[in-house]
Structure 1
Amino acid sequence: MKRVGMVLIGILVLFGIAPGWESEGTAEEVNPKKRWVGAWTASQQEPSGTALEGIKDQTLRMIIHPHLDGNQARLRLSNHFGSQPVTFEDVYIGMVKEGASLVPRSNTRVTFDGEPSVTLDVGETVTSDRIHFKVKAGQSLAVSIYVPHDTGPVSWHRLAKQRSYISLPGNYASRTEPEAYTERVYSWYWLTGLDVLPHPGTTGGIVALGDSITDGAGSTSSANHRYPDFLAQRLREEGIRKSVMNAGISGNKVWRDDPVYGPSALNRLERDVLNQPGVTDVILLEGINDIGHEPPDYDAEHIIQGLKRIVDRAHQAGLRVYGGTLLPYKGSVYYTLEGEATREKVNEWIRNSGAFDGVIDFARIMADPSDPDRLNPVYDSGDHLHPSDAGYQAMAEAINLDWFRPEQPR
């Protein structure tokens, strides 16, 4: 009987079903033979604004919203754009009860090569040990990180559209109570990924590569109403076991790096898309900021060549790529007639080139029927560039879920 019990436990562990996950949980070294899939990601950017101030002797409690179930997890932390080494003395992950308050006994220590602390050099990214911790798609989690020393400017994701927290001075990472977390912040510091060992029927992950429209600008803060969130919800409702990872950066461009709006889509493609654990598909929606930001790029062929390079590199990596047409933007702060002509040429290529495995015609879906160069007022957040919650939901509903069903040939 004892032998049978040991065999049963071995089978459970093999399939990532760790007994007793409800209790506080444990961490151990990552087993490289198991297939990890990204359940959540945030693309890193150079520090700007408040990130230039850094952190010292404080605890961050960052709220994230994973899109895939798993009974084991691991975190990825990055100092990619930092200016000096940074030490994380304590790292925990727990289930959110409300605000900065956590579900009792859910807060679980995260380790790195068996140690509770880790130091990252400039440009370095680290993956934690495996954690026996149950991740539920659609349930918010809190990652708490205590930083003992002055970090200098922080590698971050600027526009999180999610309320997170910074504590009073001291180490509060292990605490479930919210009282010490007195400062609100709407960015993610250093945290770049949560991966899980998913259900055996999981078929991989979709990375949404884009700009502020993918990042969720204009949506309700802390509501998880970005279009990738709505897409993930649709997949779950249809029983399609596939993750959605949001690699949007507000202000991002196809070609140009920017100290505020991040490295170009071309320059971050490998890190933010191709290297995501378990990625199988890409939704590409980029180009409107190349047209609109100063100095504007009205050379449609130049933008098309950049998009084509992204598609070709993704295809070479064995990924399927779905192209989204650029949304109408008449009435926005950077609208011009020259820019509109460029957008229309780029969209014609996306629709008709055959470069993509499928096309999502966001432009037609989101257009005002009486003036197709404008966003439909029903979907407009108010700035005539970014959709509202209803607009993001409409974008997600326009995506063909049959592309992601497991029976589809690859």
Structure 2
Amino acid sequence: MSGGRARACRLLAVALTAAVLQATPAPAAEGPPDGVITWGASADRLGEGVADRGYRMVVRTSVAGSDLRIRLSNAFGDRPVTFDSVYAGLRREGAALVRGSNRRLTFGGARSVTVPAGRTVYSDPLPGRWAAAADLVVSIHSPDAAGPATGHGMAMQTSYTAQGDHTAENDGARWTGTVGSWFYLDAVSVRADTGTRAVVALGDSITDGWQSSTDLDRRWPDYLARRLRQADTDLKGVANEGISGNKVLADGAGQSALSRLDRDVLSQPGVRTVFLFEGVNDIKAHTGVTAQDLIAGYREIAERAHAAGKCVVGATVGPFKGWSEWDPAGEAVRRDVNEFIRSGGEFDAVTDFDHILRSPYDPERILPVFDGGDHLHPNDKGMQAMADAVDLTSLDCGTAHRADR
């Protein structure tokens, strides 16, 4: 064989090897990246996966930074799922993107990734600077999704679907379906300025945003993120890990707060503070849960978060008289639980949402101006009042339990 022909064969072999590597799905890998979480949504089982469907999901960033990474979750799947095309860009309007902003994400250098059942995977960093309060659009396509899908059911945000792979397209012409959930995507992080950290809100439907305005980012953690952006603090990231109907102690609407604490909160990058606001669903379910049961659950969450080096802020359970499940016995449990949260000394700081939301004329009821209509969930004004009630200095617990110590 001549030297020229041999060299051509070697070049062809290299090209073929590169093509095979590019087409081969990268293995899933876990472990948080460097950086700070800029958006998050708790994972749950979300119906059945559909093969050859694309999802174009709109999420709002909280902290600016570079080297954006996303986390894809198959936490509730019973089989592997492959994502063969994943893009991230900035929204122009609807499902249409800002021209030139839509770029491919890779996983271990490959365009495709297979996530085993029960696992998550981070993308490679995507170069460039990403602004705070931006409408980030993550488009994904799976050729083989089946079985239980993982996602977040109540997004309070319109996203889009398409048949086939249209992830690379800037316009929204093929993205004709709409959906009020996020599929497979459960976290986005960036490399932020040195010292920047995040707050994670662990909660139920009030934190998830029910009764706030869809597509306007008026959940109370959204209002908190706006305040933090304007404040002289290095706490800039906010992740909303609320699930509608969620409980502290028992699985049901999502895994319990105790069961999902590691995945939804402690595994996220750059977290300094855990903001715990949950318990009303345990109380109103009439399953025999006592104040001491809930207090034990709160203590375990605080202990585990402190062991991970996090600051922990507890929030009192709000009033819900007028809701169909309210009764005097449940109200007594709520009162005892709130007394513990305020004075038990388990938390590094306390935000008294009960005090902010309750009516001065009937403290067992939500103030009418804050009532979203069902006597449990605050409206937009109530959500803003909750965020305004948070003492921003309390979110950073000095040096006692810093995430970056």
* Fold agreement, TM-score > 0.5: yes
**1:199 is the counterpart of 2:190:** no
Which secondary structure state, in structure 1, belongs to the residue aligned with residue 130 of structure 2?
A: coil
**1:264 is the counterpart of 2:256:** yes
* Bigger shift: residues 142-151 or 385-394: 142-151
- 1:163-187 deviations in Å (ceiling 9; x for gaps): 10111x2110000101111111111
Deviation of the 1:66 alpha carbon: 1.1
For 1:16, the equivalent position in structure 2 comes to none
Deviation of the 1:158 alpha carbon: 1.0
**1:381 is the counterpart of 2:380:** no
Deviation of the 1:298 alpha carbon: 4.2
For 1:23, the equivalent position in structure 2 comes to none
**1:113 is the counterpart of 2:108:** yes
For 1:101, the equivalent position in structure 2 comes to 96
1:209 partner amino acid: L
Name which one, 1 or 2, has greater alpha-carbon Rg.
2
For 1:44, the equivalent position in structure 2 comes to 43
Q: 1:184 aligns with which of 160, 178, 181?
A: 178
Q: Separation in 2 of the partners of 1:297 and 1:395? A: 29
Do the aligned residues in 2 keep the contact of 1:146 with 1:171 (CA within 8 Å)? yes
Deviation of the 1:402 alpha carbon: 1.5
Q: Separation in 2 of the partners of 1:61 and 1:159? A: 16
Do the aligned residues in 2 keep the contact of 1:70 with 1:198 (CA within 8 Å)? yes
Q: 1:244 aligns with which of 215, 229, 238?
A: 238
Do the aligned residues in 1 keep the contact of 2:313 with 2:395 (CA within 8 Å)? no
**1:174 is the counterpart of 2:165:** no
Q: CA RMSD in A?
A: 1.7
Deviation of the 1:59 alpha carbon: 1.1
Deviation of the 1:42 alpha carbon: 1.1
For 1:130, the equivalent position in structure 2 comes to 125
**1:217 is the counterpart of 2:210:** yes
Q: Separation in 2 of the partners of 1:34 and 1:185? A: 29
For 1:68, the equivalent position in structure 2 comes to 63
- 1:236-275 deviations in Å (ceiling 9; x for gaps): 11142321111111111011011xx100001111111111
For 1:21, the equivalent position in structure 2 comes to none
For 2:274, the equivalent position in structure 1 comes to 282
TM-score (norm 2): 0.88
Q: Separation in 2 of the partners of 1:326 and 1:237? A: 28
- 1:118-173 deviations in Å (ceiling 9; x for gaps): 11111111011111132211111100001122422211111111110111x21100
Which secondary structure state, in structure 2, belongs to the residue aligned with residue 155 of structure 1?
A: strand
Q: Separation in 2 of the partners of 1:144 and 1:355? A: 42
Q: Separation in 2 of the partners of 1:298 and 1:405? A: 32
**1:362 is the counterpart of 2:353:** yes
Q: Where do 4+ consecutive residues of structure 1 move more than 3 Å?
A: 32-35
Aligned length: 370
For 1:371, the equivalent position in structure 2 comes to 362
Q: 1:232 aligns with which of 222, 225, 238?
A: 225
Do the aligned residues in 2 keep the contact of 1:329 with 1:384 (CA within 8 Å)? yes
Structure 1 stretches lacking a partner, 5+ long: 1-29
Deviation of the 1:405 alpha carbon: 6.1
Q: Separation in 1 of the partners of 2:145 and 2:198? A: 36
Change (3 A) 1:102 1:399: same
Do the aligned residues in 2 keep the contact of 1:66 with 1:140 (CA within 8 Å)? yes
TM-score (norm 1): 0.87
1:385 partner amino acid: L
Change (3 A) 1:150 1:193: closer
Deviation of the 1:35 alpha carbon: 3.3
Do the aligned residues in 2 keep the contact of 1:62 with 1:142 (CA within 8 Å)? yes
2:214 partner amino acid: S
**1:336 is the counterpart of 2:335:** no
Structure 2 stretches lacking a partner, 5+ long: 1-28, 401-405
Which secondary structure state, in structure 2, belongs to the residue aligned with residue 346 of structure 1?
A: helix
For 1:18, the equivalent position in structure 2 comes to none
